[in-house]
Amino acid sequence: MSEENKDIDLKKNISELKEEFEVFKSDHRHLIENIEQFTEKLKKENKKLEKPFEMLNLPSKGFFYENKNSYILIGYLTYIEENLLTSEMLVESGIAYEVAFENLICNNDITIDELLTGDVQAMALALRSFSYGNNIELDLKCEHCEKVEKATIPLTSFQMRSVKNSVDENGEVPVDIAKGKISLKIKPITFKDEISLLNKKDKKPLEELAIYIKEFNGERNPNKILNTIRMLRLLESRELRDAIKENTPGVDTKYYYECDHCDKTTLYDFGGNTFDLLKLPASYRNNVLEEMFLLTYYGKSITIEDAKQMPVTERRWFINRISEELDKQRDYEKKEMAKAKSSSKKR
C-alpha cells in the first residue's frame, strides 16, 4: 500500500473516531439529562427525597409486592427517630418502629404496613449500620466454659436470606412436605402482622405458624388450616417449620464466635429480630441533647431545628470537627502561654 493510501485510510479512521466520539458525547449528555429529570421528578413527587437517602436491596427481591421493586429508598436516622427509639414503652409496643420506619421510607408506592417483616429487618440492620457503624458490642456467654466476654460483632456478618422455592403469581410459595403428601402455599408475613403478634397477649406457637400458611392441601380457610396443623405428627411439624423458614425472606441472625478462654465455638442467634438493634437506652437521649447543644453553641448559624433534622452521621461528623477545632485552639493557647512565660523569664 502506498504512503498516500495509508494517509487516506488514517484520515478516514480519525474521521470515523471523531464521529463516534461525538455520538458518545451526545448519548452521555442525554443520559445525564435523563437522570437529572428523573431526580427532579422524584423530588416533586416526594418531599422526603430532599433529604439524604440510601438504596437498600430487599431480601424478598420484590417478589411479593405489587410494584415488584427489589429495592427501597430509605432516609437516615435523625433526632426525631432516636427520640422514639429511646422510649421503652413505644419500643415494646412496636409503635416506635412503625412511626420511625414510616418516616424513613422514601418510596411513594409502598408503606410500612405493606413491607414484609423480613425486609423491615434488613432495613433496621442497614439503619443501624449507617448511623452508628458496622460493629456492635455484646456480652456473650460461652456454652462450653460458661465464661462471659465482650464480643465485637460486625453487622456485615448477618447475611440476607431469600426464598428457596419459586413465588407464584399470587405472591405465594408452593411447597411440598411429608414426601409429597402435604401440599402448602406459604406467604411471608408483613411488618403489620408482626406488630399484631407482638401485642397479642395470649398468642400460641401454632397460631404464629399458621399465619404463614395460605393453603394446606387445597384448604384456604384459616381456622380449618389451624386445626389441621394441630393434628400433625412431630416430624411433619418440624418439616413445616423448616419449609416456612426456608421460604421466608429476611436476615440470617446466626453468629458463630470463638471463646477466648476455651477456644471453642458457640452459636449465638438473635432470634430473627433485628429490630432490637435500633433500640436505644433512655440514657442515650441525654447524649443526643448534649450533641445538639454543642452543635448550636459552636456551630455558626445552626439552629436547634437544623440539628434535629440532621442525619446522625452528619451530626456526629460536625461534633468531631468541632472537637478537633477546640483541641487545636487549646493547643494554640497553651503554646502562647508558654511563650509568654518564657519571654517574662528572660526579662
pLDDT digits (tens), the chain, 347 positions: 555 555 555 555 666 666 666 665 666 666 566 555 555 655 555 545 567 888 899 999 999 998 888 999 999 999 999 999 999 888 888 889 999 999 999 888 888 989 999 999 999 989 999 898 888 887 888 888 888 888 888 888 888 889 999 999 899 999 999 999 999 999 999 998 888 877 777 767 788 888 999 999 999 999 999 999 999 999 999 999 999 999 999 888 888 888 888 888 888 876 656 677 788 888 888 999 998 898 898 888 889 998 999 999 999 998 899 889 888 988 888 888 888 777 776 66
- Asked if 236 and 227 touch (Cβ cutoff 8 Å), the reply is no
Cα–Cα distance, 173 to 164 (Å, whole number): 9
Alpha-carbon 223 to chain mean position: 35
Cα–Cα distance, 239 to 213 (Å, whole number): 13
Strands (E), the chain: 53-57, 71-75, 135-141, 148-154, 159-161, 173-177, 182-186, 213-216, 250-252, 254-258, 265-269
**149 Cβ neighbours under 8 A, 6+ residues apart:** 139, 140, 142, 259, 260, 261
| Segment 294-306, tens digit of pLDDT | 889 888 888 999 8
Nearest to 247 by CA among 167, 128, 130: 167
* pTM listed for this prediction: 0.77
Residue 332 in grid coordinates: 494554640
